[in-house]
Structure 1
Amino acid sequence: MDVFFEWLQTKIGDELSDITLFGIFGMLVYLAKLFYKYFEKCKNEKDLFPFYDNSILKNSRKFFIRTKCQNIDPANEINFRSSYAFVTKEDMLNFFIKKVFKLKENETNFYIVLGDSGMGKTTFMLNLFYSYNTYLNSIFKKTRIKLLPLGENLDSIELHLNNISLEDRKNTILLLDGLDESPILNFSANELVEKLTTIAKDFRIVIISCRTHFFSSENDEPYELKIRKFNTNGNGYQVIKKLYVSPFDEKDIKKYLNKKFGILSFSKIREAKEIINYTDDLMVRPMLLSYIEDVMKSSKKVKLSCEIYELLIIKWIERESNKYQTSNKFDFQNDLFYFSIHVANTIYENFEKNGLFISNEEMKRLAIEFNINLDLLEMKSRSLLNRDSKGNYKFSHKSIFEYLLAYNCYRNRFVDKSQVYHIDYDLSLFDQALKFYDEMQINFKSSFHFNDERFISFHSGNNVMSNLKFEELMQLKHSKTEVEWLDGKTYRIIDVQEEILTKKSKFFPFTEKV
């Protein structure tokens, strides 16, 4: 019996030793993983500085579905979903990391990634940076990667690039995000491309992202650059390769919903799919799909893109107002909406100087005017406002800013005796704002979510359509109408019954808060 107990004690001791060793090994692996993540974070912070930080990188990866690309513009199709059978798509991360970046000699070192608003161009650029800039990758490869936002002042971008030595440029991949957000207004799209590519000509590879509609047509999209080839065979100038971001297909949407709600959340996923089908091809844009939960919680059905943006702003205001007592919520909601309108106006007025940013000083001035505590505004992934490392602010997506511009112009429009409509801002500078405005006008949008009982009426009268008889308004809505822009601030409505439009033409302007 004693022998048995000795054997048992020895056996247990051996097992405990194995468990202890396994525990120590597991702890070492865990600590190694923590150290690796820490060093990777420090490296990313260093390489992203001063224009981004690691939190932006982290948010971009949270529900990321790998971006696909194609060489045919999806906008050429009737709608995005009809393009699936007619193009060949490729994983864009693999295309650059496994093909382009591995080539010792490229036919060209310039690429432009084109896509419509909300198609995930910035998210792709952030994930391309992260995927290539892993800590282990940087140890074994000499080539570095740098990401810069073109919404910043171009002089700051040029100064930042000039501080990189010529030798380092030859071993650096340069990502330039948001060509259409550049604040230089006196340059045409192609002139801006030429200026940027001249500044960046010494970098190993340059990838620029831009909205497709920044160029007036596909023929205007850059192809041959005025940078003479010196280090390649043949004569001529550099060529810029074009890639188009592919819209989400059914598989991408399914992957996103599974990540968003969890693969076992059958009822939520089913409800989300019903909304996606109802909104046609709007939700194949990753930016809008990211707000699917807000749309699901709304009692209002949305069909137009301007209605989705209206809903996004409402939900953001509601979330922010939850920090306040019930008695103060109503006032705060109105203040925050007015504040947002004026932030958009200020950005527009200073766009050529500051791009899409509003200075910290100007933001504080508006915050005091509209009783907004900036310290209480959450700058998280679902916020509509972001703050950079310098304390300057911008809307989380350019299209939010453009919606507020279009909304303000539409609510303040007036029509003269010759049936020419006038608006306050030149929307020709912002393609998505024009789309929002056309959508509101063609659908004769007369009611806004902002006008319900939670929000005060922002005008002292009714809009140009609201005094018409119900039958006349219905007749107008079902007529074929188009907006014919005379310039960026004036337009006509064509293919409608003129005698109805001339009955009531006065529109009361936006009433400022007293």
Structure 2
Amino acid sequence: MSIEALVQICKWIAAVGGAAFLLVRMGYWLSDRRHITAAVKLKSQRNQSVFTPSYTDAEIAAAFRTYVQPDCGQADPSHETDNRHVADIREPVFSSLDRFVDHALRRRHFLVLADSGMGKTTLCLNYFRHAGKRKTGPVALVSLSRPGADAKIGAIANKRDTLLIVDALDEDPAAQNGVEARLSELLSLAADYVAVIITCRSQFFRDASAIPKDTGVSVIGPRMAGAGSTYTLWHLYLMPFTTAQISTYISKQFPLWNPKSLPRRHAAERLVARVPELSGRPMLLELVPDLIREGAVAQEVFDLYEYMVQKWVAREERWIDGALLIAVSKRIAVEIHARASSGRGDRLSRNEVDEIAKSISGHQADWDHLSTRSLLNRDNDGLLKFAHRSIMEYFFVLAAIDADDRCFGLAWTDVMRDLFVSWGYTASGVASLKRAKEILTSDLSATKLVPLSDPPTEPNVIVEGEILLAAARRSKTDGVRRLVHSSWRADSVRIEEAEMGIGIVDLACDLEWLVPSLSHDIVLLPLAQQLRIAPGPGQFRSPSFDELVSLCEALTSSGRIDLLVPNRLYLLGDILGPDRHLVVEAYEEGPKFGMLRAIGDGRRVAGTDYKLAVYEVSRFLDPTQLQQLRVASLFVRRTPKRVTGAAWPTLL
């Protein structure tokens, strides 16, 4: 082949490559224009109620552009220890909602539940757009975080043909003092709509049993045999993103036309693997592209919020000092949470914010300069609120760390607790052990912070494999409510000694323990006699192996590993089946009870100085051995009252 021909081929390849690049770039540009047009159209819909007014056309378009439709399921993912792997039965949320709307004659009321930052509002915007394209009838969207929501629900015309989407029940001021009563009021107000979808933070209800099942709205017309006289309130939970959904989101953020995209995609995937909470909170996942582009480091959820705030402060520094903005935001967060807790809304007037600024710096700021991407938003009435509830919660935790005493007279949310525990793992948290100790040893009874971590499982019928895994399980940190940092554990444990035993309170796991005194061998009783000690409701009982692991952690952190006597058998509350009881031995040099059937090999409890061996004791044991066997008891119970500091209970 001649040189001239080779040059022509190279020119042809370059021309084709350039044309392909331009076509891909043009495709992304057209997609952007389509989303912006859709945003403008969304805001001009006749039946569209005003949603958060700080949302600009560009921000709504961004919600459309980067939206990845989540899955949904019937099980609450917040109860799983690893929220990335939940709900074997799940489907795209639009499919579930479409089916609900199409069968609205039988199922008219739907409650969509999800954790903070999982995209409930973004779902409402995108499903509003989706439902409008289906042309099954008018669609209305009302945000309960805005004043006058009831009037908007009542004013929308043609209710019997309209699908009503109601966002943010948990941000409704009227729901703060009684969510069940407020929900009943809303369902009654929306009784004439063809179908109603309501979103809410799942933790807003005390537990699953507190979520109403009955709407109280009467069924008009003929009913199927066995059907009730009122409509049922159906529940649906948004699921954390799967690995494939996260990859889809990341690919949208790093398009192929950019030659830097491939390494950035790999870096983003590594970050998500390192901070598992990103899969459950799309709001935080949105930070990943900027983190990757800037090469910033984030190991914790607390780090992500800190990064978000730093970016915001940098955007606003042209008109307000960053330190002042953060200080004002912390004060605002505490005031808003106090108001919301008493049902007085989640907004402050500009005069109130000015007074806060003046009390800190001596002069007020001009809040008209807030940028469109501000974490503080203005509504149509000029009132200020945070762009997302979890941002308020982050600033509230900052205020608590900075010793704002008002924070400890209010009930904290689950997100506040998660952020507080996450702070303990950050560099600033590790460097602030003195402040952490002050908080942990103070009176936390009003905060509802206890338990700080996921409580261990209570006694149950278990399989042998669970025993083998439990000793290592609690060292993991990817659960829904992670364990407190090891440096905090000693300050979350209180030990009191008495004549016949030792009382232990473990705030991290919300457990009270009664450990037999080391000097009294009278506590060693035949197994049959120990089994006859039947506690009453709420009384001390034998621990599960999982609870015993938490005790090993607590005693190690407190320097009291001597409280579990080596080579002594302790009765567990777990069983393998009828008459198949379990006992456990803590040992140093080696197990002593080799004549018993061991459940696996001896296990070292992760992060502690303990080695544990578990044995089965059943009717199949030699009668002579069973008669000679002496077993001690450890007693535990859930803390009946949330207490700390000077309010430690008398256990003995």
Question: Common fold, TM-score beyond 0.5?
Answer: yes
**What is the 5 A alignment of 1:23-422?**
40-41=41-42, 43-44=44-45, 47-49=48-50, 52=53, 55=57, 57-83=60-86, 86-97=87-98, 99-103=99-103, 105-134=104-133, 143-153=137-147, 156-164=148-156, 168-184=158-174, 187-233=177-223, 234-263=227-256, 264=258, 265-296=261-292, 301-321=297-317, 323=318, 332-351=321-340, 352=342, 354-366=344-356, 372-380=365-373, 383-412=374-403
Give the Cα–Cα distance (whole angstroms) in 2 for the partners of residues 38 and 445 of structure 1: 39
Shift of the 35–286 alpha-carbon distance from structure 1 to 2, 3 Å rule, reads closer
For the Cα contact (< 8 Å) 1:249–1:284, is it kept in 2? no
Q: What do residues 327-367 of structure 1 show as CA deviations (whole Å, max 9, x unaligned)?
A: xxxx8111111121122133224324552222344345445
Offset at residue 133 of structure 1 (A): 2.7
Deviation at 1:273, TM superposition (A): 1.1
Measured at CA, do residues 485 and 315 of structure 1 come closer, stay the same or move farther in structure 2, by a change above 3 Å? farther
Aligned CA distance change for structure 1 residues 186 and 130 (closer, same or farther; 3 Å): closer
The Cα shift of 1:216 comes to 1.6
Q: Secondary structure at the match of 1:432?
A: helix
| Residue type of the alignment partner of 2:228 | N
- Shift, 1:171, TM fit: 1.4
**Helix, strand or coil: the match of 1:184?**
helix
Residue 426 of structure 1 aligns with which residue? 410
Shift of 1:281: 3.5
CA contact (8 A) 2:76 2:237 kept: yes
Mapped contact 1:223–1:241 kept (Cα < 8 A): yes
Report the residue type matching 1:244 in the other structure.
Answer: Y
**106-115 or 390-399, larger mean C-alpha shift:** 390-399
Does the 8 Å CA contact 1:183/1:353 hold for their aligned counterparts?
Answer: yes
Cα distance in 2 for partners of 1:411, 1:37 equals: 44
Aligned mates of 1:38, 1:225 — CA distance in 2: 33
Identity %, equivalent residues: 22
Unaligned runs of 5+ in 1: 1-32, 325-330, 415-421, 452-458, 467-473, 487-493, 507-514
- State how far apart, in whole Å, the 2-side matches of 1:315 and 1:35 are: 24
| Aligned-residue offset at 1:387 | 2.4
Contact kept? 1:336, 1:372, Cα under 8 Å: no
Distance apart, 1:498 and its partner CA: 6.7
Q: Which has the larger radius of gyration?
A: 2
Q: Distance in 2 between matches of 1:42 and 1:123?
A: 14
Q: Give the TM-score normalised by the residue count of structure 1.
A: 0.71
Normalising by structure 2, we get a TM-score of 0.57
Partner of 1:447: 428
Within 1, Cα distance between the matches of 2:296 and 2:117?
22
Instruction: Return closer, same or farther for 1:314/1:72 CA change in 2, 3 Å cut-off.
Output: same
Equivalent residue number for residue 601 of structure 2: none
Distance in structure 2 (CA, Å) of the matches to 1:35 and 1:445: 39
More helix by share: 1
SS of the aligned residue for 1:158 comes to: helix
| SS of residue in 2 equivalent to 1:316 | helix
Structure 1 residue 109, shift from structure 2 partner: 0.5
For the aligned residues, what is the CA RMSD? 3.8
Give the equivalent residue in structure 1 for 2:420: 437
Answer whether contact 1:427 1:433 (CA < 8 A) is retained: no
Shift of 1:289: 0.3
Give the structure 1 partner of residue 445 of structure 2: none
Alignment: residue pair count: 417
Partner SS state of residue 435, structure 2 = coil
Greater RCO (CA < 8 Å, at least 6 residues apart): 1
1:319 & 1:336 partners in 2: Cα distance?
11
Residue 115 of structure 1 deviates from its aligned partner by: 0.8
Residue 247 of structure 1: how far off its partner (Å): 0.9
Q: 1:34 to 1:310 in 2, by over 3 A?
A: closer
Distance 1:96 1:82, change over 3 A: closer
2:325 and 2:399 map into 1 onto residues whose CA distance is 15
- Cα pair distance change 1:356/1:45, threshold 3 Å: farther
Distance change (3 Å), C-alpha of 1:342 and 1:259: same
Q: Matched residues in 1 for 2:96 and 2:277: separation?
A: 26
CA distance in 1, matches of 2:113, 2:414: 14
Q: Which amino acid aligns with 1:48?
A: S
Contact 2:47/2:140 (CA < 8 Å) preserved in 1?
Answer: no
Conserved 8 A contact 2:253-2:289? no
Distance 1:412 1:300, change over 3 A: farther
Cα distance change on mapping 1:41 and 1:227 into 2, 3 Å: closer
Q: Distance in 1 between matches of 2:345 and 2:214?
A: 27
Residues of 1 paired with 2:50 and 2:407: CA distance? 40
Which blocks of at least 5 consecutive residues in structure 2 are unaligned? 1-33, 439-484, 493-506, 512-552, 561-644, 647-652
Deviation of the 1:464 alpha carbon: 5.6
Counterpart residue number, 2:14: none
Q: Contact conserved, 1:79 with 1:281, CA < 8 A, in 2?
A: no
Q: Does the residue aligned with 2:385 lie in a helix, a strand or coil?
A: strand
Following TM superposition, by how much is the alpha carbon of 1:67 offset from its aligned partner in structure 2, in angstroms?
2.4
1:187: how far off? Answer: 3.3
Q: Is the 8 A contact 1:173 1:203 kept in 2?
A: yes
In structure 2, C-alpha distance between the alignment counterparts of 1:203 and 1:50, rounded to whole Å: 19
Q: Specify the code of the residue in structure 1 equivalent to 2:94.
A: L
Worse overlay, 370-379 or 106-115: 370-379
The 1:278/1:232 distance shift into structure 2, 3 A limit, reads farther
